[in-house]
Amino acid sequence: MANIFAFFVFGLSWILFAQFLSALLIVWVILRVYSHHLRSSNLVRRSTLLAELGHSHNTKRIVGFFHPYCNAGGGGERVLWTAIAAIQRTDPDVVSVVYSGDTEASKESIISKVKARFAITLDPVLLHFVFLQSRWLVEDSTWPRFTLLGQSIGSMYLAWESMTKLIPDLFIDTMGYAFTFHIVAQLGQIPIGAYVHYPTISTDMLARVKSRKQWHTNAGHISSSATLSRLKLIYYRLFMYYYVLSLRTASFVMVNSSWTKNHVDSILQYNDPLIDAIHMIPPLVGLKLFTSQNAPAAARIVYPPCDTREMSSFSLMPRQRIILSVAQFRPEKDHQAQLNAFHRLIELHPEYIQNSHNRVKLILVGGSRNDSDAKRLSELQKVAKDLGIDPYVEFVVNASYPTVLSWLSKASVGLSTMVDEHFGINIVEFMAAGVIPVAHASGGPLQDIIVPFNGERTGFHARTLDEFAGALHTVLSLPTEEELAMRWRARAWAVQRFSEEEFERGWNQSGWRTWALGSTSSR
């Protein structure tokens, strides 16, 4: 009896296994046939496009940039257009194609907006747009719940739409839609690159969910809430697992800062043994079998170029005794710490306010977006009054760009107190303007911006109130020669490191050229 039963179970599991294998095989065959069909019909689309652009021979290579919001005019778009302009300059045999969801815009209107917004000139002959109809699938509002998952699946659909319209020789995602890579790899069978501004999900985020789960459990909350947070943790772990599989599909990965590199590197090396073990079991193993893993173990930092042209023309000396802060009146900027540091400075060095012609002033320039900011602003003004420093502090609200520039041309010291700022464009601007920065010792200002140039200081870091006051005093009392040298170094460093040339060099080193030339989709 037992024998028959064992035989039965054994037989059944073989049948199931065989069925699973054949299902997998069928899916694989369908994918291959569909991909083959797409790629052969792409040859016609490709020649038509090149002919339309006026390229008589089919010798051009096509690099596709996946940037559904290419007309938004933000920092991510500056990166996109600077990269394309550089490629147009150095590689006239490459046609750049942008996959965009801006269906209401035209090629001409986008090109002229880029010119007006970023002062970047694009050659229309080497640029083409593939307009996508289904961008709504990646919009926040489409996915009020399970936003991460919804947008990721939406982006895969968008990638499919892209591949049916045109398969490039190299696909580069510049907006952070890593889930598109599976579709592009399977259907287009082309190499993939990524420029990551911000990881979709980070190991930090996972750790936070994990600790919240324990907190819930420990606090003895009703079991449903504990179950809920456990489910949430599983959701995040699965999501992370697939995100890692996606990123590793790329052949090269660039990131915009040290902060992002730290996160992306820990994602590229992330390993979840439990979830991985689950993916050894059919049918989940199918998901693993359909991904290719190419990525390097570490991402390359390619800093976005900053526009420092105007600031870098200001004269370095003489400067007024102005401590300048340029930051929106948001809570994380921590303006209160700036007031406290200034208060401590004149507590320790009353001479800075005694002499009226040599008086030090703190100027806080920043935007106030709405009622919350306005309320914070009036609280800050009250704090200044309470500290008795209000005669030496000036708030400049909603200043125009020329006004900001004029403060940058006059100030001595640039102050920033935000903790863990990812980057800190305001500090790059201080330095380019020749204003010596004093910033919190964390994030971008610590790792990327205020770093030695030729082994010498370009500014100061501080953590505590006393360190801030001390650094401010140091800058204000620098000997003239040393002061001039430091202003010069700060400018030289900021202008060089965050220049377009440096950006171009980073792209060169990413190896995109080899991948674009080595691919075989057009042959």
Beta strand pairing call for 61-66 and 393-397:
unpaired
Minimum CB–partner distance for residue 182 and ligand NAG (Å): 24
Minimum CB–partner distance for residue 444 and ligand NAG (Å): 6
In sequence order, what DSSP letters do the residues of 350-410 get, joined into one string?
Answer: THHHHSGGG--EEEEEE---SHHHHHHHHHHHHHHHHTT-GGGEEEEET--HHHHHHHHHH
Q: Give the three-class secondary structure for 225.
A: helix
* 96 within 8 A of 127, measured Cβ to Cβ: yes
Q: Which is nearer to ligand NAG, 152 or 426 (CB)?
A: 426
Which among 349, 317, 288 has a CA at the least distance from the CA of 471? 349
Minimum CB–partner distance for residue 292 and ligand NAG (Å): 27
Q: Which is nearer to ligand NAG, 200 or 229 (CB)?
A: 200
Which among 185, 110, 169, 179 has a CA at the least distance from the CA of 149? 179
Minimum CB–partner distance for residue 174 and ligand NAG (Å): 11
Minimum CB–partner distance for residue 425 and ligand NAG (Å): 7
Distance CA 450, CA 486 (A): 12
Minimum CB–partner distance for residue 403 and ligand NAG (Å): 12
Q: Which residues bind ligand NAG (CB under 6 A)?
A: 75-76, 90, 197-198, 256-257, 260, 303-304, 368-372, 397-398, 422-423, 501, 504-505, 508
Distance CA 113, CA 129 (A): 15
Place of tokens 């909350």: 221
Place of tokens 């204000």: 476
Single-letter residue type at 50:
L
* 21 within 8 A of 146, measured Cβ to Cβ: no
Q: Across the strands, what pairs with 415? A: 438
Minimum CB–partner distance for residue 79 and ligand NAG (Å): 8
Q: Which is nearer to ligand NAG, 483 or 504 (CB)?
A: 504
Minimum CB–partner distance for residue 279 and ligand NAG (Å): 31
Q: Which is nearer to ligand NAG, 75 or 391 (CB)?
A: 75
Q: Which is nearer to ligand NAG, 153 or 425 (CB)?
A: 425
Distance CA 104, CA 106 (A): 7
Which among 159, 188, 158, 190 has a CA at the least distance from the CA of 42? 188
Place of tokens 């360190």: 467
Distance CA 170, CA 347 (A): 60
Beta strand pairing call for 94-100 and 127-131:
parallel
Could you count the other beta carbons within 10 Å of the beta carbon of residue 73? 15
Q: Which is nearer to ligand NAG, 167 or 427 (CB)?
A: 427
Q: Give the three-class secondary structure for 75.
A: helix
Calculate the CA 190 to chain-centre distance: 24
Q: Which is nearer to ligand NAG, 67 or 197 (CB)?
A: 197
Q: Torsion-angle region of residue 395: left (phi > 0), alpha (psi -120 to 50) or beta?
A: beta
Q: Which is nearer to ligand NAG, 212 or 369 (CB)?
A: 369
Q: Which is nearer to ligand NAG, 29 or 517 (CB)?
A: 517
Minimum CB–partner distance for residue 126 and ligand NAG (Å): 15
Minimum CB–partner distance for residue 203 and ligand NAG (Å): 17
Minimum CB–partner distance for residue 347 and ligand NAG (Å): 30
Q: Which is nearer to ligand NAG, 76 or 154 (CB)?
A: 76
Minimum CB–partner distance for residue 186 and ligand NAG (Å): 29
Which among 242, 249, 256 has a CA at the least distance from the CA of 196? 256
Minimum CB–partner distance for residue 255 and ligand NAG (Å): 8
Tokens of 274: 């439990």
CA distances from 261 to 202, 264, 299, 487 (A): 11, 5, 6, 29
Q: Which is nearer to ligand NAG, 313 or 508 (CB)?
A: 508
* 443 within 8 A of 263, measured Cβ to Cβ: no
Q: Which is nearer to ligand NAG, 412 or 417 (CB)?
A: 417
Q: Which is nearer to ligand NAG, 379 or 501 (CB)?
A: 501
Calculate the CA 43 to chain-centre distance: 34
